[in-house]
């Protein structure tokens, strides 16, 4: 355990002793108070991660103590505990800011489980506070580095869209920084002081995903030994970010659509309607329009999500940002690892510029982190760049000029495509599967191109023929610059 500080306020000595023993054994740092006045006095003097508070206290009731605790620290996580399992009292306590409600008698594991959930909520609040502080200190888009025109357009779009209530769909390949954009939208919105909650849409089975989203009541299903808030409730007044929303099952999509339309839902197994004010930001690395056509994604949900679309370019389409990204990551991981790496040598930087980065910014970040950790001096040289990056093939297209009479771009591209395929087949001695691999194509795609260009497969697979020269009519139209 991490030694979080827990304040227990209960007038029963036996209950205080039980909780002290239980929580101390679990690794928590526990402070006891026997009434509301003492609990408030202790809370004002110290800082606590969570409070376990009895509802039935002498003189000053638990609900009154709860209100005063929230005045002392609005983000303090409070668990209410009582011998009277009153639904009305539970609802009142939750409305006044309690995280959850436990009825005596309780199981020890139940208390520890709910407390862990409460502390996770506290950590989430702290992380959001740190994010907001970093954004204020370092700029509104502190983690998003980009001077390319397309990135500047994205910054402008975020600035315009963030203050609104509109749903935003962030589209881009894996590793392009979709979650960073979602955080920037949240941090630049009126909801910045409220929670930013992430839903890992594709990593959970259907039933568990719905339980996480909407919560459940005690006894809703086997193993539901306590009531649990869902992510929609935790994100109330804040932002809920659906990472890879295209992976959500169809049955859950229908329920999500209803919540977005009505702004209300019920916990699993519950009958009480819960209203929330949540802004949705979703991200996807798949073509949702195609998913709609294929019946894998609801059309009505797609249009509900696609109010404002932010299209992130892959790194290979904004290579002018690579030097700035490299400098950012070198500084970041030098600080994290206590190193004094301050430069990337030109030969290493050139290798980074020549590579196409299928893993996008995330892959570049991992490469720089590795270089910083392994560097024995203040520089990252070419040898610290992984083999698959620095040995990636670099293809240089010769500079061409267009003759005064003009030229057919379509014909030139077709001719070049044909010659490239012929050259690759010669180098692989006619093995089409290997040629497809070298060209980054599916074997079926390459086969179709061979048929379209009427290319003859080399008969002698042991021979290697040089690239055919330009045909005479091509030389007449194209001259080297």
Structural domains in the chain, sorted by start: 5-123 (3.40.50.2300), 147-311 (3.40.50.300), 317-390 (1.10.8.60), 400-480 (1.10.10.60)
Q: Side by side, which strands form the sheet with 100-103?
A: 29-33, 5-9, 50-54, 77-82, 100-103
**Residue 303 pLDDT exceeds 60:** yes
CA distance 299 to 306: 10
Helices (H), 7-143: 13-25, 36-45, 62-72, 87-95, 108-138
Does residue 471 carry a pLDDT above 80? no
What gap in Å lies between CA 114 and CA 135, rounded to an integer?
Answer: 32
pLDDT mean over 254-274 = 89
- More confident call, 100 vs 374: 374
Residue 73 — pLDDT band, cuts 50, 70, 90?
confident
High-pLDDT (> 70) share of the chain, %: 87
Looking at residue 462, its pLDDT comes to 35
pLDDT-wise least confident of 18-27, 42-51, 115-124: 115-124
DSSP at 190: T
The average confidence (pLDDT) of the chain is 84
Residue 380 has pLDDT above 70, yes or no: yes
- The predicted model gives 368-386 an average pLDDT of 93
The 10s digit of each residue's pLDDT in 414-430 is: 888 888 898 888 878 88
Encoded tokens for 59: 């003189």
pLDDT 10s digits, 180-190:
999 999 989 99
What phi and psi, each to the nearest 5 degrees, are found at residue 414? -65, -40
Angle of CA points 398, 399, 403, to nearest 5°: 125
pLDDT band at 131 (very low <50, low <70, confident <90, very high): low
The two tokens of residue 441 are: 């194509």
328 has a pLDDT exceeding 50: yes
Residues 6+ apart with CB under 8 A from 241: 179, 182, 183, 186, 196, 197, 198, 199, 281, 282, 283
Residue, of 218 and 3, whose pLDDT is higher: 218
What whole-number distance in Å separates Cα of residue 306 and Cα of residue 276?
A: 21
Q: What is the pTM of this model?
A: 0.57
pLDDT at 422: 86
pLDDT for the residue 322? 92
State how far the Cα of 289 lies from the Cα of 280, in Å rounded to an integer: 19
Distance of alpha carbon 189 from alpha carbon 177, whole angstroms: 19
φ, ψ for residue 259, nearest 5 deg? -65, -40
pLDDT at residue 191, rounded to an integer: 92
Say yes or no to pLDDT of 64 above 70: yes
Tell me, what's the pLDDT at 480? 34
The pLDDT value recorded for residue 31 is: 94
CA–CA separation, 160 and 154 (whole Å): 10
Tokens of 212: 């996480």
Among 1-15, 323-337, 415-429, the range of highest mean pLDDT? 323-337
Asked if residue 220 has pLDDT above 80, the reply is no
Average pLDDT over residues 439-452: 89
Q: Round to whole Å and give the CA distance between 283 and 293.
A: 19
User: Confidence band (pLDDT; 50, 70, 90) for 277?
Assistant: very high
Yes or no: say if 453 and 468 are a contact pair by the CB < 8 Å rule.
Answer: no
Mean pLDDT of 267-291: 91
- With a CB cutoff of 8 Å and minimum separation 6, the contacts of 401 are 478, 479, 480, 481
- What pLDDT score does 86 carry? 63
Chain centroid offset of residue 265 CA: 25
* pLDDT, position 39: 92
| pLDDT digits 0-9 by tens, 91-103 | 778 888 888 877 7
**Percent over 90 (pLDDT), the chain:** 42
- Residue pair 43/71 in contact (Cβ under 8 Å)? The answer is no
Question: What local confidence, expressed as pLDDT, does residue 386 receive?
Answer: 93
- Residue 445 backbone phi and psi in degrees, to 5: -65, -45
Q: What is the mean pLDDT of residues 347-367?
A: 92
H or E element: which one contains 279?
Answer: strand 279-284
**End-to-end CA, the chain:** 68
CB-based contacts of 279, cutoff 8 Å, min separation 6: 165, 167, 186, 189, 191, 238, 239, 240
For residues 264 and 23, give the distance between their C-alpha atoms in angstroms, rounded to a whole number: 36
């Amino acid at each position: 355990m991490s030694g979080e500080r827990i304040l227990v306020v209960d007038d029963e000595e036996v209950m205080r002793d039980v909780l002290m023993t239980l929580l101390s054994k679990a690794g928590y740092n526990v402070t006891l108070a026997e009434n509301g006045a003492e609990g408030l006095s202790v809370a004002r003097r110290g800082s606590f991660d969570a409070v376990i508070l009895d509802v039935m206290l002498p003189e000053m009731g638990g609900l009154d103590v709860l209100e005063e605790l929230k005045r002392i620290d609005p983000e303090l996580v409070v668990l209410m505990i009582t011998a009277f399992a009153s639904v009305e009292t539970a609802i009142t306590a939750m409305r006044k800011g309690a995280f959850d409600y436990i009825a005596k008698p309780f199981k020890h594991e139940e208390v520890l489980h709910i407390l862990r959930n409460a502390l996770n909520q506290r950590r989430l609040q702290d992380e959001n506070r740190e994010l907001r502080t970093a954004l204020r200190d370092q700029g509104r888009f502190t983690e998003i580095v980009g001077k390319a025109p397309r990135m500047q357009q994205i910054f402008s779009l975020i600035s315009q869209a963030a203050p609104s209530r509109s749903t935003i769909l962030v589209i881009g390949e894996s590793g392009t920084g979709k979650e960073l954009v979602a955080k920037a939208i949240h941090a630049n919105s009126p909801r910045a002081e409220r929670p930013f909650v992430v839903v890992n849409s594709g990593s959970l089975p259907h039933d568990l995903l719905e339980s996480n989203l909407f919560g459940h009541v005690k006894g809703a299903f086997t193993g539901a030994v306590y009531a649990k808030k869902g992510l929609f409730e935790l994100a109330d007044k804040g932002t809920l970010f659906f990472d890879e929303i295209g992976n959500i099952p169809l049955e859950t999509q229908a329920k999500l659509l209803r919540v977005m339309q009505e702004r209300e839902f019920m916990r699993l197994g519950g009958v009480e309607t819960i209203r929330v004010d949540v802004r949705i930001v979703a991200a996807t690395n798949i073509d949702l329009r195609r998913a709609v056509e294929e019946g894998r994604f609801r059309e009505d949900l797609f249009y509900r999500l696609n109010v404002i679309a932010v299209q992130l370019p892959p790194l290979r389409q904004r290579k002018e940002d690579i030097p700035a990204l490299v400098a950012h990551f070198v500084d970041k991981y030098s600080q994290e690892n206590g190193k004094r790496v301050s430069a990337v040598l030109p030969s290493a930087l050139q290798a980074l510029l020549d590579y196409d980065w299928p893993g996008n910014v995330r892959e570049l970040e991992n490469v720089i982190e590795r270089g910083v950790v392994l560097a024995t001096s203040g520089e990252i040289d070419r040898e610290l760049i992984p083999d698959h990056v620095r040995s990636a093939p670099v293809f240089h297209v010769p500079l061409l000029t267009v003759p005064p009479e003009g030229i057919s771009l379509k014909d030139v591209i077709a001719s070049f495509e044909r010659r490239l395929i012929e050259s690759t087949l010669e180098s692989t001695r006619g093995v089409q599967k290997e040629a497809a691999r070298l060209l980054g194509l599916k074997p079926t795609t390459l086969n179709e191109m061979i048929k379209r260009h009427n290319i003859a497969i080399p008969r002698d697979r042991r021979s290697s023929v040089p690239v055919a020269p330009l045909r005479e009519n091509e030389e007449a139209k194209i001259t080297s610059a």
